[in-house]
Chain A
Amino acid sequence: MKVLIVEDETELSQSIAKFLSSEAFICEQAYTYDAALDKICMHDYDCILLDISLPDGTGLQLLEKLKALKKNNGVIIVSAKNSIDDKISGLNLGADDYLAKPFHMAELTARVQAIVRRRNFNGSNILEFNEIRIDTNAFTVHVSGKAVALTRKEYELLIFLISNKNKVISKNAIAEHLTGDAAEVMDNFDFIYAHMKNLKKKLADAGSQDYIKTVYGLGYKFTA
């Protein structure tokens, strides 16, 4: 899967590229509006990460070009502004998602994968990891064909973990993912332990292996 990163901050662009590349993504980078436009015209991408403010143009202008070119790619706007107006005009211009800086890489990966899933499978969203099979359209989880009843938070947690498989995810990233947009997250991570414990137990009860590993005090890793 090909991802184009349109971001003028080279350091950030490279971090994103490096992080995503270790997944199944092929990343290309564009630091300017012109470079991005060239790449968009010449190649097709599954997902484009778009910074709103670029030195020689805006991400919103690029969105308009994409629309004019009738490209069928997902777009995530990545902006430092976190302004509602930008968000609304971006989404109106066909962007799929909006992510405010600063963000956790795990969050970005999860969102990119969600978009790619939606694009590639034409609405039938299946996420699989060994014996675990998730239908993100029907919100169902099966372990070896057996349905597992999860709460909404446990379900979101499982998708987040699988989207970032083989990656260490910090508790902060999980907390922020689960609490949503709130400017201040709950200050203790007790609720993550509780949700994680329940999720592990439910998966184990359904006959799944224990894929959720604790990495020192840092966070969790979903790995076979």
Chain B
Amino acid sequence: MRLLNVSLKSFLYYSMLLVLIGIPASFLSIRAISEKEIDNGLHRQQEEFVEHIKNFEYLEDIAVDLRVFDELAYDQEIQPADRYYEGETFRTIAVYDSIDREVNPYREVTSYFVVRNQVYKLAIRTSLVESKALVIVISIVQTILMILLLGGFLLINSSLSKKIWNPFYKTLSKLKAYELNKKEPFQYEDSNIAEFDDLNAAIRSLTNKNMEVFQQQKEFIENASHELQTPLAIFQSKLDLLMQDEALTEEQAALVKDLINTNQRLSKLNKSLLLLSKIENEQFIDKEAIDVTQLLHDSIAHYQELTGNGATNILQASPYMLHGNKTLTDILINNLVRNAFQHTAQYDQIRIYLENGILSIENPGEPFKEGGERIFDRFYKESNHKASTGLGLAIVKKICDLSGYTLTYIYRDGRHIFSVKF
């Protein structure tokens, strides 16, 4: 769930709760207030009426007048009563309205008064229709205001949140696109919000540190390999001297031979590591036009010469020019061609195709036990070749990755097929 929605959701729930409680509450409270106002009015009316009647107590036939009045007045009733009760009683009643032809609510106050020793029951009514309409109108207006208020609040909040969080999302998208090996520091714009500026600064210092460590690690491999070259050279030179010793017995010679082979392996491994880290450190960046077909010809001729194989149908290529780094392309092609020659004894069965910028190199052989998924991993060795460093194909992969070529491997009909799409 997105951050914006989390805060908006809470606001929304609260707003809905307020509307649900607020509308009936305001309706009820307005109605209560208006009822109280009406009751007060009725009370005053009643008091004034009784006061008024008292002024006419001197009239002999007031009883008759009151009866007439009762008959004439629509919203008043004056009935003689048997007993006098103190106080007023308010109640809401329904009265049939002959004009509107409907039953309407009325508020009625009942009290007792005495005129000329006769107790009268006085009931004054007032229609609630108007006040009901008023209550409804007020309630509707209130409800609309409330909804407008809350809706506006939600809208403003959501747009404000979007604006406020905008720098955060910008930072996030930049962080997603960030690559450690690009050697560029993390870029950001000032947001004028302290927290986000802090966050960006923290991210920048973190990425800078990471970049530094990454760089150091890359350089470490390169430097370590460089430093190893000299002791390896000394060791090699001593072995070359030892080998010249005429007094060497056959057993000693065998030991020296093992040492030479081991040292050779060390040197090769070191050279490959150095090459790999140089490629990683992007030390081969110059680009030029390269005749891939010619490179293939040379490489195949080289290994054919070494293996003493003269098959002429190995290469089927249409001329292809590539814009890339000469050294890297040379290594790429050489490693793949050597790989084919190294892993088969049937040299004349090797097939190399170059068409439409797709190079495929095939050699017959047994399928890999592990299906060939890790074939481009460093130090992965399927065969037991002593001279194989397990880095040759890793170097090929690295070159392809850096140059944007697609490298694939499949096993089909008893043949290993490596393809490079330039």
Instruction: Judge if A22 is at the interface, Cβ distance under 8 Å.
Output: yes
Q: Which one of A80, A82, A178, A187 lies within 8 Å of B342 (CB-CB)?
A: A187
User: Which are the 6 A-B pairs with shortest beta-carbon distances?
Assistant: A187-B387, A15-B237, A105-B240, A102-B233, A80-B229, A216-B253
27 contacts between A and B (CB under 8 A): A9-B230, A9-B233, A12-B234, A15-B234, A15-B240, A19-B240, A22-B244, A80-B226, A81-B229, A84-B327, A101-B230, A102-B263, A104-B236, A152-B305, A170-B243, A183-B272, A185-B387, A186-B341, A187-B385, A187-B386, A188-B387, A191-B306, A195-B308, A216-B250, A216-B254, A218-B253, A218-B260
Q: Which one of B235, B239, B240, B389 lies within 8 Å of A184 (CB-CB)?
A: B389
Q: Which one of B237, B254, B386, B391 lies within 8 Å of A12 (CB-CB)?
A: B237
Q: Which one of A82, A102, A180, A216 lies within 8 Å of B236 (CB-CB)?
A: A102
Which A residues between 90 and 121 are near B, CB-CB below 8 angstroms? 100-106
Which A residues between 195 and 224 are near B, CB-CB below 8 angstroms? 195, 215-219
Given A183-B272, A219-B243, are A82 and B229 also a contact pair (CB < 8 Å)? yes
Note all chain B residues with C-beta closer than 8 A to A191.
Answer: 306-308
Q: Do B306 and A178 touch across chains, with their CB atoms under 8 A apart?
A: yes
Instruction: Mark each residue of chain B from 237 to 279: 1 if its CB lies under 8 Å from any CB of chain A, else 0.
Output: 1111101100010100110110011011001100110110000
Q: Do A172 and B260 touch across chains, with their CB atoms under 8 A apart?
A: yes
Note all chain A residues with C-beta closer than 8 A to B387.
Answer: 184-188
Instruction: Judge if B161 is at the interface, Cβ distance under 8 Å.
Output: no
Instruction: Judge if B338 is at the interface, Cβ distance under 8 Å.
Output: yes
Give the distance in Å from the alpha carbon of A152 to the alpha carbon of B302 in the complex: 11
Instruction: Judge if A133 is at the interface, Cβ distance under 8 Å.
Output: no
Instruction: Judge if A18 is at the interface, Cβ distance under 8 Å.
Output: yes
Give the distance in Å from the alpha carbon of A195 to the alpha carbon of B304 in the complex: 12
**Total A-B contacts with CB atoms under 8 angstroms apart:** 127
Instruction: Judge if A89 is at the interface, Cβ distance under 8 Å.
Output: no
**Interface footprint category on A:** 35 or more
Given A170-B243, A216-B250, A216-B257, are A194 and B341 also a contact pair (CB < 8 Å)? no
Given A15-B240, A170-B260, A182-B334, are A102 and B305 also a contact pair (CB < 8 Å)? no
Shortest distance in angstroms between B381's beta carbon and chain A's nearest beta carbon?
Answer: 11
Instruction: Judge if B232 is at the interface, Cβ distance under 8 Å.
Output: yes
Q: Do A80 and B230 touch across chains, with their CB atoms under 8 A apart?
A: yes
Instruction: Judge if B167 is at the interface, Cβ distance under 8 Å.
Output: no
Note all chain A residues with C-beta closer than 8 A to B392.
Answer: 183-184
Q: Which residue of A lies closest to B235 (CB)?
A: A102
Instruction: Judge if B388 is at the interface, Cβ distance under 8 Å.
Output: yes
Shortest distance in angstroms between B41's beta carbon and chain A's nearest beta carbon?
Answer: 105
Q: Which residue of B lies closest to A51 (CB)?
A: B230
Shortest distance in angstroms between A14's beta carbon and chain B's nearest beta carbon?
Answer: 9
Q: Do B241 and A186 touch across chains, with their CB atoms under 8 A apart?
A: no
Q: Do B241 and A15 touch across chains, with their CB atoms under 8 A apart?
A: yes
Give the distance in Å from the alpha carbon of A18 to the alpha carbon of B238 in the complex: 10
Shortest distance in angstroms between A173's beta carbon and chain B's nearest beta carbon?
Answer: 8
Q: Which residue of B lies closest to A85 (CB)?
A: B283
Give the distance in Å from the alpha carbon of A112 to the alpha carbon of B348 in the complex: 38
